[in-house]
Amino acid sequence: MRSVEWHAGRVRLIDQRLLPAEVRWLELETAEEVARAIREMAIRGAPAIGAAAAFGLALAARRSRSASRAGLLNDLRAAAETLRAARPTAVNLSWAVARLLRRAESEPDRAAIPAALLAEAQALADEDVAVNRRLGEHGAALVQDGDTILHHCNTGALATVDYGTALGVIRTAYEQGKRIHVLVDETRPRLQGARLTAWELQQLGIPFTLIADNAAGHFMRTGQVNLVLVGADRVAANGDVANKIGTYKLAVVAQANGIPFYPCVPTSTIDLATATGDDIPIEERPADEVTALTYRGRPIAPAGVTVANPAFDVTPHRYVTGIVTERGVVYPPFAAGLRRVVGG
């Protein structure tokens, strides 16, 4: 089941805000609606929002009223800015938008641009599925029979077009017959682990245990974790990794306990134009993501509290064992290895 697709002239996607209680599809008709869905996290996950943005530009091309090629290209550039601004940290979004714009600019015939962009967006989505399956094969080679894997956030079919990155590795290992168990971080404050990863693992029949975020260190120190697998929203040229908030502390504790730590990413998530993690913009999310949580029907925080809510953190490359891609596992020194797989 694809989390985002083109259907009857619209962009159709699963509204992830309602999971696991309800599976509901949204059908979006404009690039602005796609941008809103990305911004409000009806769809999330770096590869998934990249595909959604690509389809969003295809919508913009079909809906443009500009009769000239130049006018249509201006409409597409405006739509691209709207889509890029929806979530700044995940590089897949800007990568997909840039790819679609290049395709539009390469087409000399104004009338041919809408169909060309839809074909390009569909190709991008199809490639994402194939890439994830190859990534899963490379990553599964790191998983031993009987391993317990600690996983943070959501990196499955919901975070991609289909199959998944870090969860794709887990899925491949399970399909190979390896007896594995997954420790699933809740992933506060939006609880993507509890709401989405747990739901996906249930659908797949893969054994797992849901744990509080703050319990991860206990399980690592007591020898109950064999490796940590996470996704990423952007990998800098030096191997620094931006991922869902809480990833950095997992990497530090994993290294302190001799546990391998592997981000699993398609090469489209590697941003060679960003030198280090310090250069990656970190999205600040609304305060109510933290304060709207309740305990037994009552607010968890007093009214009027000041809230800081960064959506991501950066893990310096010194804590990263290796980076799993569809072109193999990159080990330190990362700068040369990342250039090789991106160029390959």
d(CA 9, CA 341): 35
Domain ranges of the chain: 4-132, 139-343
- Give the pLDDT of residue 1: 77
The single-letter code of the amino acid at 18 is L
pTM of the model: 0.94
Q: Spot the catalytic one: 233, 240, 271, 313.
A: 233
Q: Give the CATH number of domain 139-343.
A: 3.40.50.10470
For domain 4-132, give the CATH superfamily: translation initiation factor eif-2b, domain 1 (1.20.120.420)
Decide if 17 contacts 191 (C-beta within 8 A).
Answer: no
| Cis? peptide before 88, omega within 30° of 0 | no
- Give the pLDDT of residue 344: 63
Is 15 among the residues known to form the active site? Answer: no
- Strand-strand pairing, 10-14 and 4-7: antiparallel
d(CA 260, CA 142): 10
Instruction: Specify whether the backbone of 204 is left (phi greater than 0), alpha (psi in -120 to 50) or beta.
Output: alpha
Q: 278-299: b or e for each residue (b if 16 or more CB lie within 10 Å)?
A: eebeebebeeebbbeeeeeeee
Q: Which residue has the tokens 């399909």?
A: 175
Average pLDDT, 10 consecutive residues per value, the chain (344 residues): 93 97 97 97 96 98 96 98 93 95 97 98 97 98 98 97 97 98 97 98 98 98 98 98 98 98 97 97 95 91 96 98 98 97 86
Adjacent-strand bridge partners of 150: 183, 228
E strands of 189-339, at which residues? 208-211, 227-230, 234-236, 241-244, 261-263, 270-271, 294-295, 298-299, 312-315, 323-325, 328-330
* Backbone torsions φ then ψ of 60, nearest 5 degrees: -60, -40
- Give the pLDDT of residue 90: 86
